[in-house]
Chain A
Amino acid sequence: MPRFWKERKNVLVLGGLLSAQLILLSLQVPLGDRPSVFEKSVFFLFAPLQRGLGALGRGIGGLWERYVHLGRVEERNRRLSDEAVRLRQENTFLRQGLAALEDQASAAAVLRSLGRAFRLAAVIGVDAVNPYKSVIIDAGSAQGFRPDMPVLDGRGRLIGRVIAPVGGREASVQLVTDENCAVAVFTEGSRVMGILSGDGKTGRCRMKYVLATNDAVKEGEVLVTSGFDRVFPPGLIVGTVTTIGADTSLFKRIAVAPFLDFRELKVVAVLTGRGGAGE
């Protein structure tokens, strides 16, 4: 046995490692999109490290500007930027809430609820395999985040939802550009319903299940969440219809440019109450 091991050690180790990973793969199958205990463990082990390394990187990167180059101005600028994001979110919610309300009493209730409707979080990492699928944010269950909470960008536009695993102070966000993401939407002008999902490869999305016989959809129309999926609240803008095509199937091929802009993806807002501002 020792001689056999000595002669074939390398191949046996490779076989063992590959077999272990194939077992992990097969264990994942019945779970579907839900992460396994092992995957959660690795995430929980490395996510705080990512958070720490990110903070370290920010610290080192900001050293020059903070201590050599107008330290106070940089700090004030950061606070004002955060405040601008918060105000834009509030503005979006106010406009959406007020449009849907019929009386002033309800409007006052919306205004009162705004303070707890969302929380801001910073993006600390992107998906390690496919950046169009997910990002990691620096807030988690300690901030009240749970899977399926909608996530908006700094301008109040839908970019995704919180998914498992959710750590204490880190969480994963599935982006609308992921092919497994599905958002119930309608076109703002023609009110045609469909399901928005990403193509997972180019950062673009598709609007699915619009019948080929439906000619109401127009290029350039903005897509808005309908709320019928019971995950995303109604009234959030997601993207714009870019091209409309047809093939031999029952449905149209509608390409959508999402409003999600990776260059602006630094701070996001997580809706902590279902129905967003309206709740």
Chain B
Amino acid sequence: MRRIIEAGGGLLGAFLVFTLLHRIHPLAVEVVNVFVAVVLLAGLLGGEITGAVMGAVCGLVADSFSVGIFGIAGLALTTMGFYTGFVSRKINVLKAPRLFVFFVFMAGAELVLWSVLTALVFGGSLPWSGGLLLVQPVVNALAATALYGIYRRGKARHGG
């Protein structure tokens, strides 16, 4: 039950940040994808199934607020969420620098998968915006690492 509440809170938080992000700059959503950051965190904390379910839900929400084929973002995020949980159980990634590199790798893989799926389904390419989209995995990884740091501090403070 606690995990469901945390996941729901994560989704709402991501949606809040996504809603407010365009006020900073409408194209800010190209630099950071908060849904990716939340799915990375869900996979790390909850494991494969939590990561995959969170990826599916976040992907469907993102797709419903986008013009085009419904479901593309969900496929990429579901796969990323699952493998974030899977790999983080196999290797130790809990130290901040290592975690950041791991998140960059997973977010980069998600971008590649999203790009391949877009090419297969649409026959087109992603909105690269002069390479701006390539920054996204690094910024997403930074955001997810920072969120994990906040989560761990909060847990330590409350004796969890």
Contacts and interface: CB of A to CB of B under 8 A. Distances in A.
B94 interface: no
Interface in A98-132: 123-132
A206 to B, nearest CB: 14
A179 B124 contact: yes
Interface stretch (B11-19, B96-104, B139-147, B149-157): B11-19
A57 B23 contact: yes
Contact of B67 (A9, A13, A133, A203): A133
B127 interface: yes
How large, as a class, is the contact surface on chain B? 35 or more
B22 interface: yes
B44 to A, nearest CB: 15
Interface stretch (A47-55, A64-72, A184-192): A47-55
Given A14-B82, A25-B72, A201-B125, A61 B23 contact: yes
B26 A39 contact: no
Contacts of B16: 53, 57
Main secondary structure of the interface of B (DSSP, over half): helix
A9 B49 contact: yes
A124 B79 CA distance: 30
Given A18-B78, A131-B26, A201 B67 contact: no
A35 B67 CA distance: 9
Interface in B65-81: 65-75, 78-79
A271 to B, nearest CB: 20
Given A10-B82, A201-B126, A201-B128, A125 B53 contact: no
B48 interface: yes
Contacts of A213: none
Given A18-B79, A50-B19, A126-B29, A132 B127 contact: yes
A249 interface: no
How large, as a class, is the contact surface on chain A? 35 or more
Contact of B70 (A13, A14, A38, A179): A38
B16 to A, nearest CB: 5
A219 B76 CA distance: 41
Interface of A: 9-10, 13-14, 17-18, 20-22, 24-25, 28, 33, 35-36, 38-39, 42-43, 46, 49-50, 53-54, 57, 61, 123-136, 163, 172, 174, 178-180, 200-203, 262-263, 265
Interface of B: 12, 15-16, 18-20, 22-23, 25-27, 29-30, 35, 47-49, 52-53, 55-56, 59-75, 78-79, 82, 86, 121, 124-130
